[in-house]
C-alpha cells in the first residue's frame, strides 16, 4: 500500500487485488477472465459508497496492462505502466468523472480518442466514474462503440445508482455488484491499520466505527482518522463515551431506558430522557430509526431467541433486551413498530421535528398506561372514557327526570324524536348525493362535470397513474405538479364520495400522462394518414402540402 499520503482513506487504498477487503468472489472472477483471456468489452462495478468500485477499476486497468505477465499485479516493484496508472498519468488509461462531464460532446471526444490505438500498453482503457450521471444523449452516443469496440479498447464503469443506467447499456456490460463489507472483515482491517499506524485504540471504539460506517471502508477510514486525531489531543486516552460524543452517535442504552419508562407509563421520565438525547444533537429521524432497531431486536429475541444480528449491543444492553422481551408481548411490539413507521412519514410535516417526536412518545405511552402486557389503542381508551362520561350523564339525567317526571318526559321524547327524524333526512340526502368513482377516467370526468379545471389539468398533464383501487390512488408526478394538488384532490374526493381517500406518491412510472398518451395517439393517426393513398394522391397534386395534425370530427362535435 502507498505510504505517501496523510489521509488514511488514501494512504491505505489498495494497489493490488490481494489488498482488497471483502470482495473475494469478484476478484476471483476477474482474475479468471484475465488468465483465460476472456475479457469483456465493458465492466460495470456497482455498490454503495466506499466499497471499492473505483479502486477495483484502477487495479483492473493495471492488471490488463501490467508488463509483468507472470503475476499481473506489481506491488513492491511496480512496472512503468502500473506506476503511471496509479498516479493517473498514463496516456492510454483515461479516467473521467461523469458527474462533471455529462454531455454528449464529452462522449464524442472520448469516441474520437478511442480511434487511435494504445501507445505503450496492450489496451486503451476508459474508466468512467459515476456513469449514471451521463445524459440520455451521451449514453446513446456510446452504445455502438460499447457493443463493438476495437480489440484494444476496454471500458470500466463505476456507479452507486445502477437503476439510472439505461438497460441498453447494462446489457452490453459485465456487471459486478460489490457487497457491503461484513462487520468482522472491516473490524480486522481497522485493527491492522491501527497497528500499522503504531497507535493504541480501544476495540469498542473500533466496533463503534464499523457500525457507523455501515460496511463502507472509506467511511470507516475517515472516521478512524478523525478519532486518532482526537486521541492525540487527549494524550492517547479516549474512552467509548467520548468517541460517541465525537461522532454524535446515539447510545442504544438510552433507548432501552426510554422503552422501559414507556412501558411503566412514566411520562416525565420519558420526556426527560428524550430531551437529554436531543440536547446531544441527535437528529429526530436517526432517533426513530434506532428506536425501530431496538423493537426489531426485541422481536428477534422474543420469537426466535436470537440476538446475533445485534452485535452492536454491549453485554449489559443484551441483558436488558432479554429482560424487556420477557415483559412485553408481540402485540405491543407490533403497535410500537406501526406508530414508529407512521411518525417517519409525518415528521416532515412539522417545522420543529423535536416536538413531533415528543408527541410520538406520549402516544406510545398511552397505548399501555396501566399494564405493559395490556395494550389498548386510542380508540378503545376513548370509548372507555366516553362510556364512563355517558354513565355519569345518564345518572344526572335520571335524577332530573325523577324530580319533574310529569313535565319533562313527554317534551324530551318529542324533542329527541324530531331531532332523530331531521338527522335521518340529512343522512339520506347526503347518501343520495354520493358519487361512485371507480377508475382514473371516472375521476377526470367528475372533475369536468364539477368544473374543477385546475384538478383536471394536473391529472392530465402532470400525473402518472401507478394504481387505482380500494379508495387508494398511487401516482408519480413530474416537477410541474402544483404544490397543493394532493391536498385539493383529497378534499374534493371526500366531498364527492363522502369517504376518505389515500393518495400515495411513488417513484415508479408505470404509465404515461393523459396528455402524453393523447400526443402519441395523434402522432400515430398522423403517420397512418401519411401512409394512406389519399395523402399520396393529395401530395402529388399539391407538392407543398404539409399535414401537422389530425382531428376526429366526432370528438370535435362532442367537445
CATH number for the domain harbouring residue 299: 1.20.272.10
In a domain, 57, yes or no: yes
Residues 306, 268 share a domain: yes
In a domain, 518, yes or no: yes
Q: Supply the DSSP symbol for 366.
A: T
- Answer yes or no: are the C-beta atoms of 98 and 133 closer than 8 Å: yes
In a domain, 189, yes or no: yes
Tell me how long the chain is.
559
**pLDDT band, very low/low/confident/very high, at 281 (cuts 50, 70, 90):** confident
Residues 273, 215 share a domain: no
pLDDT confidence of residue 378: 36
Higher pLDDT, 145 or 317: 145
Higher pLDDT, 383 or 461: 461
Instruction: Calculate ∠ Cα 111-112-115, nearest 5°.
Output: 90
- State how far the Cα of 123 lies from the Cα of 179, in Å rounded to an integer: 28
Instruction: Please give the torsion angle defined by the CA atoms of residues 143, 144, 146 and 150, in that order, rounded to the nearest 10 degrees.
Output: -170
Mean pLDDT of the chain: 79
Beta strand residue intervals within 253-402, DSSP E = none
Summarised one tens digit per residue, pLDDT across range 508-549 is 766 777 777 777 877 777 777 777 877 777 777 777 777 766
**pLDDT band, very low/low/confident/very high, at 231 (cuts 50, 70, 90):** confident
* 172-186, 281-295, 384-398, 491-505: range with lowest mean pLDDT: 384-398
Residues 187, 171 share a domain: no
pLDDT confidence of residue 310: 45
DSSP lists the bridge partners of residue 502 as: 472
Q: Is 533 helix (H, G, I), strand (E, B) or coil?
A: helix
Average pLDDT over residues 467-485: 83
- Answer yes or no: are the C-beta atoms of 504 and 475 closer than 8 Å: yes
Cβ neighbours around 100 below 10 Å, total? 10
pLDDT confidence of residue 42: 93
In a domain, 123, yes or no: yes
Residues 69, 164 share a domain: yes
Q: Supply the DSSP symbol for 261.
A: H
Residues 137, 14 share a domain: yes
Residues 33, 123 share a domain: yes
* Prediction pTM value: 0.58
Residue with cell 385539493: 488
Helix axes 252-264, 315-327, angle to 10 degrees: 20
Cβ neighbours of residue 407 under 8 Å, at least 6 residues apart? none
Average pLDDT over residues 243-271: 82
Residues 134, 28 share a domain: yes
Average pLDDT over residues 193-211: 87
DSSP lists the bridge partners of residue 127 as: 95, 156
Q: Supply the DSSP symbol for 538.
A: H
Looking up residue 195, the CATH number of its domain turns out to be 1.10.8
Q: Range of 218's domain?
A: 183-247
Total domains in the fold of the chain:
6
In a domain, 70, yes or no: yes
Residues 428, 397 share a domain: yes
Q: Supply the DSSP symbol for 236.
A: T
Locate all alpha helices (DSSP H) within 152-202, ordered by sequence: 167-170, 183-196
Higher pLDDT, 126 or 493: 126
Q: Supply the DSSP symbol for 300.
A: H
In a domain, 379, yes or no: no
C-alpha cell at 245: 460524543
- State how far the Cα of 265 lies from the Cα of 367, in Å rounded to an integer: 9
pLDDT confidence of residue 554: 46
Amino acid at each position: 500500500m502507498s505510504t505517501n499520503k496523510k489521509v488514511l482513506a488514501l494512504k491505505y487504498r489498495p494497489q493490488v487485488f490481494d489488498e482488497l477487503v471483502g470482495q473475494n468472489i469478484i476478484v476471483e472472477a476477474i482474475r479468471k477472465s484475465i488468465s483465460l483471456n476472456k475479457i469483456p468489452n465493458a465492466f460495470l462495478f456497482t455498490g454503495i459508497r466506499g466499497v471499492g468500485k473505483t479502486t477495483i477499476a484502477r487495479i483492473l486497468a493495471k492488471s490488463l496492462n501490467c508488463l509483468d505477465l507472470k503475476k499481473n499485479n506489481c506491488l513492491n516493484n511496480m512496472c512503468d505502466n502500473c506506476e503511471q496508472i496509479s498516479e493517473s498519468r498514463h496516456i492510454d488509461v483515461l479516467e473521467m468523472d461523469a458527474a462533471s462531464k455529462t454531455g454528449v460532446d464529452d462522449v464524442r471526444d472520448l469516441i474520437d480518442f478511442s480511434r487511435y490505438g494504445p501507445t505503450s500498453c496492450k489496451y486503451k482503457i476508459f474508466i468512467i466514474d459515476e456513469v449514471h450521471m451521463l445524459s440520455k444523449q451521451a449514453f446513446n452516443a456510446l452504445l455502438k462503440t460499447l457493443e463493438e469496440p476495437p480489440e484494444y479498447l476496454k471500458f470500466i464503469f463505476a456507479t452507486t445508482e445502477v437503476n439510472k443506467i439505461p438497460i441498453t447499456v447494462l446489457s452490453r456490460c459485465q456487471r459486478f455488484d460489490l457487497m457491503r463489507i461484513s462487520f468482522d472483515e472491516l473490524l480486522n482491517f481497522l485493527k491492522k491499520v491501527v497497528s500499522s499506524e503504531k497507535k493504541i485504540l480501544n476495540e469498542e471504539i473500533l466496533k463503534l466505527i464499523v457500525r457507523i460506517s455501515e460496511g463502507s471502508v472509506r467511511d470507516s477510514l475517515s472516521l478512524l482518522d478523525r478519532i486518532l486525531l482526537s486521541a492525540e489531543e487527549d494524550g492517547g486516552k479516549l474512552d467509548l463515551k467520548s468517541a460517541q460524543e465525537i461522532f454524535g452517535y446515539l447510545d442504544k442504552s438510552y433507548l432501552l431506558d426510554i422503552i422501559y419508562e414507556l412501558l411503566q407509563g412514566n411520562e416525565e421520565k420519558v420526556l426527560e430522557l428524550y430531551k437529554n438525547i436531543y440536547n446531544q444533537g441527535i437528529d429526530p429521524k436517526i432517533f426513530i430509526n434506532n428506536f425501530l432497531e431496538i423493537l426489531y431486536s426485541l422481536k428477534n429475541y422474543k420469537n426466535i431467541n436470537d440476538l446475533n444480528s445485534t452485535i452492536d449491543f454491549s453485554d449489559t444492553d443484551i441483558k436488558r433486551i432479554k429482560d424487556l422481551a420477557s415483559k412485553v408481548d408481540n402485540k405491543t411490539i407490533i403497535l410500537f413498530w406501526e406508530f414508529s413507521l407512521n411518525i417517519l412519514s409525518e415528521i416532515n410535516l412539522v417545522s420543529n421535528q423535536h416536538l413531533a417526536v415528543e408527541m410520538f412518545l406520549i402516544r406510545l405511552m398511552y397505548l399501555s398506561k396501566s399494564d405493559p402486557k395490556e395494550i389498548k389503542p386510542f380508540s378503545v381508551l376513548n370509548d372507555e372514557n366516553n362510556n364512563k362520561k355517558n354513565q355519569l350523564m345518564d345518572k344526572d339525567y335520571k335524577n332530573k327526570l325523577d324530580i319533574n317526571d310529569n313535565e319533562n318526559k313527554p317534551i324530551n321524547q318529542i324533542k329527541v324524536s324530531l331531532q332523530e327524524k331531521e338527522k335521518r333526512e340529512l343522512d339520506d340526502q347526503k347518501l343520495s348525493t354520493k358519487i361512485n368513482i371507480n377508475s382514473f377516467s371516472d375521476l377526470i370526468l367528475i372533475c369536468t362535470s364539477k368544473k374543477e379545471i385546475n384538478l383536471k389539468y394536473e391529472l392530465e398533464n402532470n400525473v402518472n397513474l401507478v394504481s387505482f383501487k380500494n379508495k387508494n390512488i398511487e401516482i408519480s408526478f413530474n416537477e410541474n405538479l402544483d404544490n397543493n394538488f394532493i391536498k385539493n384532490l383529497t378534499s374534493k374526493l371526500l366531498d364527492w364520495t363522502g369517504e376518505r381517500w389515500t393518495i400515495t406518491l411513488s417513484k415508479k412510472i408505470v404509465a404515461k400522462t393523459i396528455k402524453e398518451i393523447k400526443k402519441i395517439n395523434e402522432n400515430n393517426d398522423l403517420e397512418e394518414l401519411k401512409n394512406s393513398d389519399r395523402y399520396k394522391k393529395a401530395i402529388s397534386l399539391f407538392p407543398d402540402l404539409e399535414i401537422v395534425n389530425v382531428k376526429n370530427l366526432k370528438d370535435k362535435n362532442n367537445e
